[in-house]
Amino acid sequence: MNTIIQTKNLSKSYGKTQVLKNIDLAVEEGEFTAIMGPSGSGKTTLMNTLSTIDTFNGGNIWIEGTSLLEVKKKSLREFRQKRMGFIFQDYNLLDTLTVKENILLPLSLQKTHVEEMEKRLSNIIQPLNIESILNHYPSEISGGQKQRTASARAIITNPAIVFADEPTGALDSRSATQLLEQIESLNQTFKTTIMMITHDPYAASYCQRVIFLRDGKIVNELFKGEQTQKEFFDRILTFQSTLGGNRR
């Protein structure tokens, strides 16, 4: 397997407050990884720095072997658009576009040929079960359908990695389970590397690996291995209870 993300002594401060403290991390191609930790532990900051949305103050990040310290801002923006996908808790769909138009928007911005766009769309709508809503507008579909639409938009560009920020946070338990199963299927079917922030041990139990942060440091990692989802869930829940603080 190839290492798709690597950090060395990664640090991030806002003023005098150090949020990330010398983090060493390696994420392999095709991994489905969760980041967990109490409120204020640095989860969102870590994801934002890894995804190039935010800068960092110390250490370095390599994405697919490329040092972010050596990439200019304009190139970073293009790199993010072409090689990364994002799934947000609040969906970030455009109300004036249909589901299909929302999904294809990243490819339209890249001026991808129409035939190629249709080909990529046909490859992902079935695993996400959104064939029947392609011509609907966001106001006409459920929260679960909106999140699946956002997931389709995130992977339509064939990104090297998808970052998911609390993707199940606004969903009921049934919709959350459906989305997690579909994200897991996308990871297995397309070998897409997925890194997900979550406060929910149930959501994390779908992952192959869980990274726990506390006070800006990695304090533990759990690997699913041959465990059942229930066994992994119990391990995650047990360790999470030792971290303390607000789980959200």
The answer to whether residue 63 sits within a structural domain is no
* Better-scored residue on pLDDT, 89 or 125: 125
Per-residue pLDDT tens digits for 108-133: 988 999 999 999 999 888 878 899 99
19 in any annotated domain: no
Mean pLDDT of 183-191: 84
* Confidence at residue 1, expressed as pLDDT on a 0 to 100 scale: 67
Instruction: Examine the pLDDT at 16 and tell me if it is beyond 50.
Output: yes
pLDDT of 22 above 90 = yes
Mean pLDDT of 219-234: 96
Sign of CA dihedral 53, 58, 244, 31: positive
22 to 12, 25, 56, 87, 244: CA distances (angstroms): 9, 10, 11, 27, 22
pLDDT tens-digit series, residues 197-223: 999 999 999 999 999 999 999 999 999
- Residue 100: inside a domain, yes or no? yes
Would residue 17 count as lying in a domain?
A: no
Please report whether residue 5 resides in a domain: no
Does some domain include residue 156? yes
Residues 47-63 have pLDDT tens digits of 999 999 999 999 999 99
Asked whether residue 77 is domain-assigned, the answer is: yes
Q: Is the dihedral of CA 90, 13, 196, 171 positive or negative?
A: negative
Strands of the sheet containing 3-14, edge to edge, are 17-28, 3-14, 58-63, 66-67
- Looking at the domain assignment, is residue 66 inside a domain? no
Helix/strand/coil for 53: coil
- Sequence-separated (6 or more) residues with CB below 8 Å from residue 107: 116, 117, 120, 156, 157
For residue 225, the enclosing domain spans 29-52+72-245
Local structure of residue 71 (DSSP, 8 states): S
- pTM, full prediction: 0.87
How many domains does the structure of the chain reveal? Answer: 1
pLDDT tens per residue across span 90-104: 888 999 999 999 999
Q: Which of 99, 104, 90 is nearest to 137 (CA)?
A: 99
Query: What mean pLDDT value characterizes the chain?
Result: 91
pLDDT in tens, 30-46: 999 999 999 899 999 99
pLDDT at 245 over 80: no
CATH number of residue 134's parent domain:
3.40.50.300
21 versus 124: which is more confidently predicted? 21
